[in-house]
Structure 1
């Protein structure tokens, strides 16, 4: 199927690449279908693009790339909802807040997007009682300079 995207224009997406978010995303509860599109050639950044709303695309990254010690436990309710039975089935993304200049970009580590890559279901999980916040500097060493 062809979809119009925020950053890539009109693209072809295979039906099996669509990730279903049964409860939508916080603030976008009516948006249930997204696809993850590479946004950088090196595979560091992605776009979580709504299938039905072209202007709705979130920039994502694998949080472990920038925060190797990032760790959280999913509540049983989220594990059950996503039918996560094997660690190999789990893909975790952090939503970025883009900044200009880019080195001021932040990552939301308090609400990771968790995807069952086998079943193509996803959920943005809000971590409670964790030390993580919605804005962690992606490049903290650049802030110091």
Structure 2
């Protein structure tokens, strides 16, 4: 299949790479199919790209790379919707809000994207966990200063 993307222009994708979001994503309930695309210059981040709407693309990241003790419970309805049978089939991503300068970018830890990578089904899961914010700083001052030294 061929899709138009926000960041990469027109690309070819395999049908088996499409992640189905049965309920859409908050704010875009009619958008039900996405693909994950790597950012070549920065493998930490990926693009969650709509297969239909080229301008609908989210920068996402594995939240455990920035918050090592990140945790939340997935309710039974979501487990059933995503047909999750094993923890190893689950991929967790968080949507990034890019800022200028980049070091001030934030990540949404309160509503992660949960993907059953075996079944290719996903959902943005709203945790309502007050421990995390929708705009958590990605980079601590220590991480920024260490990156500048390297």
In 2, Cα distance between equivalents of 1:24 and 1:5: 18
Whose strand proportion is higher, 1 or 2?
Answer: 1
Structure 2: segments with no counterpart, 5+ residues: 146-150
Change (3 A) 1:104 1:80: same
The root-mean-square deviation of aligned C-alpha atoms, in Å, is 1.6
Counterpart in 2 of 1:69?
69
Change (3 A) 1:142 1:28: farther
Aligned residues: 145
Contact 1:112–1:125, Cα closer than 8 Å, also in 2: yes
Contact 2:103–2:144, Cα closer than 8 Å, also in 1: no
Change (3 A) 1:106 1:142: farther
Structure-2-length-normalised TM-score: 0.92
In 1, Cα distance between equivalents of 2:99 and 2:49: 19
User: How much has 1:141 moved relative to structure 2?
Assistant: 1.3
Structure 1 stretches of 4+ moved >6 Å: 142-145
Structure-1-length-normalised TM-score: 0.95
